[in-house]
Structure 1
Amino acid sequence: MIRKHVIEFVIFMTYALFAMSWVAGNMMTKDIMSFYQVEGVAAATWMTNAITIAKIIGNLIAAWFLVKLGPKKAFAFASLLVVAGAAGAFASNYPLYVFSRLVMGFGGAFVIVYFNPIVVNYFTPEERPIVNGLNAAAFNAGNLFALLLTGSLVSQLGSWQNVILGISVVSFVLLVIWWFISEDFELSGPKNAVGEVEKAYTFKDGVKDPVNWLLPFAYSGLLFCYISVFALFPMIPTFAVSSQYLASIMIGAGMVGTVVGIVVAKRYPLRLPIMRWCGLAMTGFAALMITTSSPMVATASAFLAGFFLFVPMTCLVTLPQELPGMNPGRITIIFAMFWSISYIIETALMYAAGVMADQTGNISIAATFAVACSATLFISTFFLPETGKKKLHSVAPAKA
C-alpha cells in the first residue's frame, strides 16, 4: 500500500474514533450522570457543550499550531489531545470529566482542519474528490460505530469508563503509526517566476475573502438540521415514527450518499449544480419527513433526506481546494474559519430554536425551524464561485 493511503487511513480513523467517543459518551449519559451523582438536563448538556466550545475555538487556532509545529507534529499533537479523552475515565468528579471532553474536543477540532492541507499535499486534483468524500464521512462513520457498538462494548468491557479507555487505546495506536509514516511538508505556495515563495495567506486575508463566509453559511444550516435530529427531534412525540429510527435511517443513507457523492464529483465537472439541487432535495424530503402521518413515507423521506445531505459534501469540501493559487497554508486558514464559523452559527440557531419552542409552547416549531435552516446550502450556491470546469471535447478536422 502506498504511504499516502496509509496516511489517509490514519487521519480518517483518528477523526472517526473522536466522533465515536463523543457520541458514545452521549449514549452513556445516564450511566455517567449516575456515577457522578449529577442530576438535571442542563448539567448533562455540558458533556456535548464542552466539545462544541472546543471545536469553535480549536478550529480557529489550529492554523497557528500548524505553522508553529509543522504538519507532522501538529497532527500528532491533535491526535494526542484526542487520546487524552481517556482521562475522563479516571476523573474523580463531574467537572474534571467535562474538562477531559473539552481537551478531546480541541483534538477533534485540530484534526478536521488538518485534513485539508494533508489532502492538498499528498493527493492530486483527480484523487481529491475521493479522499474528500471519505473524510467528509468520517464523523458519520464514527457516529455509526457508536450506535452499533456502544451497547455491546459496555456489556463486554463492564463500564462506561472502559469503553472510553478502549476507544482511546485504538486512537493511540493510530498516533504511533502517524508518527512513523508522516513527514513535514511546505505550507506555502509554489515559487513564482523569479524564484520567490508566494506571500503567506493570513487570517486577515481570510476575513477579507467573501468565499470564507459563504462556505460556512452554506454548511451551517445542514449541520444544525443534522444535529437537531439527535438533539431536538427526540423531544418531539408527533413524528410518524420514532426519532431514533429516523436518525438511524439518515445515518445509513448518509453512508450511501457519500459513495454516490464521490462518484458524481469525479464524473461531473461542475460543483454548484450538485450542491444546489441536492440541497433543495434534502430540505424538501426533511420537511416531508417531519410533517407526514405515514410511517412508510416518513421512513422513505428520512432515507432520501440523509442521502441528499451527504451527496453534495464532496463537492462542498473540494470547491475551496480548487480555488486559484491554493496551497496547504491557505486551505488551512479557509477550513479553520469554515468549521469555526459553521459551529458558531449552528450553536446560535440551536439556541434560537429552543427560545422559539419555549415562547410558543410548541416544541414541533423547533423541528420546522431546523429543516427550514437547511436551505442555506441551496441559497449559497447562487453566490459561491464555480471552481469546476467542463471538459473540452476536441473536434476532428474536416476532411478536404
Structure 2
Amino acid sequence: MSDTKTSPAAQAVHPYADLSSARKILLVATTFCSYMLFAVAWNWGDMYVTSLGFSASRTAVMTNAITLAQVLGSLVAANIIVKLGTRNAYTLAGALIIFGGVVSLTQAFPLVFFIRFVMGLGGALMVVMGSAIAAKVLTGRDLQVANGINSVAFNTGLAVAMTFGVRVFGRPVLGVLIAASLSLILLVVWLVISKMILRPEAPQEVAKDTSYTMADGFKEWFNWVFALAYTGLLSYYIVAFTFMDPSTIRWVVYAGIVGALSGTIVSARVEDRVKPIVVVWCGLAQVIAAAGVLAMSGHRLEILIGVILGIVIFFPMPFFVQTAFIRPGVTPRQIAVTFSIFWAVSYGGSVFIIMIFAWIADATGGLIPGTNIPASVAPMIFIVVAEASFLIGTYFIWRWFKKQQIFEDEEIAA
C-alpha cells in the first residue's frame, strides 16, 4: 500500500506516517480475516439452528438475535473504544465472537438466542472498530483500499462458509466449533499484531475523542440517510443467505467478492466527486437485478442474473463507504460515531423488515419442508421492495453532496 494522496505536510503530523507498507498490510489482513470468520460463524450457526427444526418465525428470531446485538453493539462501540482503548476493545469483540461456539452445547431456544446474541454483539463491535482503526492508522489511498477490502470481509466469509459448508452440513455442531476455533487463532494473531503496530493512546487524545458524542452524531442528517439507505439492502442480503436457494445465492456471494474487489480498485482511482453518483446508478441496477432473480426463479438464466446481482450489490460498497470519509473535516472519532449509528440503525431496521418477511412467509404457506425457502413468492416480493431503500437513500446523499458544493469548492481552490 502506498499513501499517494497524502501531502508531505499531512504525513509530518500523522502519528502513523512512518508505518511501513508491510505493517499496514498486516493490520488490514488481520481485521479482514477476523470479521470474515464472524461471517463463517454466523452462517454455520444458522446451519445448526436449521437442524433444530424451528418455524420461519423462530428461525427469523434466531437470525435477529444477531441483528439485535448488532444494534446494541453499534450504539456502544464508539464509547467502548474510548473506555477500553482500541486494542482492548477489539480484543473484547473477538472474545465475544468465540463465545458463539458455546451454542453447540445446547438446543434450548432461550440459550441459543442468548449465545447468538452475544456473538452478534462481538461482530457489531468488530465492524465498527475496524473502520475506526483504519481511519486512525491510514490516510489517503491506503484508507480507501482498506475500506474497500474490509467491505468485502463479510461476503468473503459467506463464500468460505458456503464452499466448505457442504463438508459440515450433516455435522453442524462441528461447523460451529471449527468457526470458533479459527476465531480464537485470529484473536491471538490480533494480540500480537496490534501490540507491534498500535501505539499507546495519550490521555489528551482520549479527551479529544470524547468531544464528539453519539448525541452529536444523531443530529447529523448525513448519518441518518447513510444508515437508512443501507437498511433495505442489508435486510435483503440477510434474507438471501438465510431464506433463499443456496445454489443461486452461492453465485451471488462469489460474484460479490469479484464486485467488491473491482470496486476497491476503481474507487481508489476515481475522483471523490464521482463516487456518490456511481453508487446511485448501482443502486438502480440492484433493484432491477433483485427483481430479476425473483422473476427468473427456476429458469436457466437464474444463475447469470444472480452473478449480476452479486456484482452490482458489492461493486459500489467501497464507493458508498468512502462517502462517509470524504465529508469535509471529518475526524476518526466522527467516523467511529458515524459507523456506530450506521450499523445500529441499519441492523435495527433490518430486524423489523426480516420479521415482517417471516410473518408474510408463515401466513402464506410457511417454509418448504426440509429447507429455509418460503413456499410463497409474497415474502420475496416484499423484500425486493424493501431493498429499494438503497437507491432512494444514495440518491439523497448524492444530492446532498451537490448542494454542499464540496467538490466544486475543492476544484476552485486547486
Q: Distance in 2 between matches of 1:41 and 1:383?
A: 35
Q: CA deviation at 1:376?
A: 1.8
* Cα 1:173/1:375, change in 2 over 3 Å: same
The aligned residue for residue 217 of structure 1 is: 228
Partner of residue 3, structure 2: none
| 1:252 counterpart (246, 251, 254) | 254
Cα 1:170–1:197 change in 2 (3 A) is closer
Distance 2:152 2:89 in 1: 22
Residue 388 of structure 2 corresponds to which residue in structure 1?
Answer: 375
Kindly provide the amino acid, as one letter, of the partner of residue 48 in structure 2. Answer: M
Are residues 1:20 and 2:40 paired?
yes
Which of 16, 19, 30 aligns to 1:10? It is 30
> Counterpart of 1:148?
163
Task: Tell me which amino acid in the other structure corresponds to 1:26.
Answer: D
- Structure 2 CA distance, aligned partners of 1:259 and 1:351? 32
Cα deviation code 1:272-315 (max 9, x no counterpart) = 11101011011112212212377233222211111100011001
> Which of residues 332, 357, 362 is equivalent to 1:328?
332
Deviation at 1:40, TM superposition (A): 4.3
Report the Cα distance in structure 1 between the residues aligned to 2:385 and 2:308, rounded to whole angstroms: 16
Deviations 1:155-211 (A, max 9, x none): 7xxx433332222222112212222221256599999xxxx9587110111111000
Which residue of 2 is the match for residue 238 of structure 1?
none
Amino acid at match of 1:11: T
TM-score (norm 2): 0.82
**One-letter amino acid matched to 1:172:** L
CA distance in 1, matches of 2:264, 2:204: 27
For normalisation by structure 1, the TM-score amounts to 0.84
Within 5 Å, give how 1:1-400 maps onto structure 2.
2-31=22-51, 33=52, 40-91=55-106, 93-153=108-168, 159-182=171-194, 183-184=198-199, 186=201, 200-232=211-243, 234=244, 243-269=245-271, 270-292=274-296, 295-356=299-360, 363-384=376-397, 385-386=400-401, 389=407
C-alpha contact 2:132 2:336 (8 A) present in aligned 1:
yes
CA distance in 2, matches of 1:273, 1:209: 21
* Residues 11 and 255 of structure 1: CA distance in aligned 2, closer, same or farther (over 3 Å): same
Q: Which moved more, 1:56-65 or 1:352-361?
A: 352-361
Partner-residue secondary structure (3-state), 1:126:
helix
8 Å contact 1:119–1:128 — kept in the other structure? yes
Q: 2:98·2:180 contact (CA, 8 Å) conserved in 1?
A: yes
Write the letter of the residue equivalent to 1:105: G
**Distance across 2 between alignment mates of 1:200 and 1:100:** 34
Contact (CA 8 Å) 1:117, 1:327: kept in 2 or not? no
- Between the aligned partners of 1:206 and 1:284, the Cα distance in structure 2 is 33
Q: In 1, Cα distance between the equivalents of 2:235 and 2:29? A: 28
Q: Distance in 1 between matches of 2:389 and 2:46?
A: 28
SS for the counterpart of 1:295 is coil
Q: Write the distance in 2 (CA, Å) between the matches of 1:130 and 1:88.
A: 35
What is the rounded CA distance, in whole Å, between the counterparts of 1:30 and 1:113 in structure 2?
A: 29
What's the % identity of the aligned pairs? 30
**C-alpha distance in structure 2 between counterparts of 1:198 and 1:30, whole Å:** 43
One-letter code of the match for 1:266?
Answer: A
- Paired residues of 2:56 and 2:361 also in contact (CA < 8 A): no
CA distance in 2, matches of 1:29, 1:345: 23
The AA in structure 2 aligned to 1:332 is A
Call closer, same or farther: CA 1:88–1:350 in 2, change over 3 Å.
closer
Q: Is the Cα contact below 8 Å between 1:189 and 1:325 reproduced in 2?
A: no
* Amino acid in the other structure paired with 1:341: V
- One-letter identity of the residue aligned with 2:329: G
Alpha carbons 1:83, 1:104 under 8 Å: kept: yes
Instruction: For 1:188 and 1:283, locate their aligned partners in 2 and report how far apart those are by CA, in whole Å.
Output: 48
Which structure 1 residue ranges, 5 or more long, are not aligned? 235-242, 396-400
Letter in 2 for 1:176: V
Kept in 2: contact 1:283–1:375 (CA 8 A): yes
Match of 2:140, SS?
coil
* Counterparts of 1:5 and 1:251, CA distance in 2: 24
What letter matches 1:320 in structure 2? A
Paired AA for residue 289 in structure 2? F
**Count of residue pairs the alignment pairs up:** 374
- Tell whether the 8 Å contact from 2:56 to 2:362 is kept in structure 1 after alignment: no
